[in-house]
Structure 1
Amino acid sequence: MIAYRLLTHEDTSAFCHKVTDALAKGWQLYGNPSYAYHAETGKMMCAQAVTKDVPGTYDPSMKLGEL
């Protein structure tokens, strides 16, 4: 099965570390990153989709970050 996650965070180095950590754990980039202004907080936000081919079948209770 292919697992999917959307990683999000403020536009800081923490976002880059979050994506780098996912890549180090075998996740692959999926599509282009997104960048948007969050009007309520006044901060820029980043998002990057990642996927990973994992054994088994989908279960809604699985913790995707632990795959």
Structure 2
Amino acid sequence: MQFDYKGFHIDTSPLDEGGRYYARAKIFRRDPAGGEAIEVKYSGDLGDYPSDADAIEAAQRWAIQWCDHNGA
């Protein structure tokens, strides 16, 4: 799932491994000069969950918290 939050673009697509879903997030900002998205933070694995919805929710919580603490 992708969404925008406080000037960031966030991708919370989980990794599906053998019936378990690993929460992870990538956070991007737009390059003011070129307008292309530049990755500013990658969460790594945030834990495994029984469903993709649970993994997405965990990754969203992590990403929003990171943006709140590191945003402009």
TM bucket (normalised to shorter chain) is under 0.3
Q: Which has the higher strand share?
A: 1
Q: Which has the higher helix share?
A: 2
TM-score by length of 2: 0.25
Structure ranking higher on relative contact order (CA contacts 8 Å, 6+ apart): 1
Structure index of larger Rg? 1
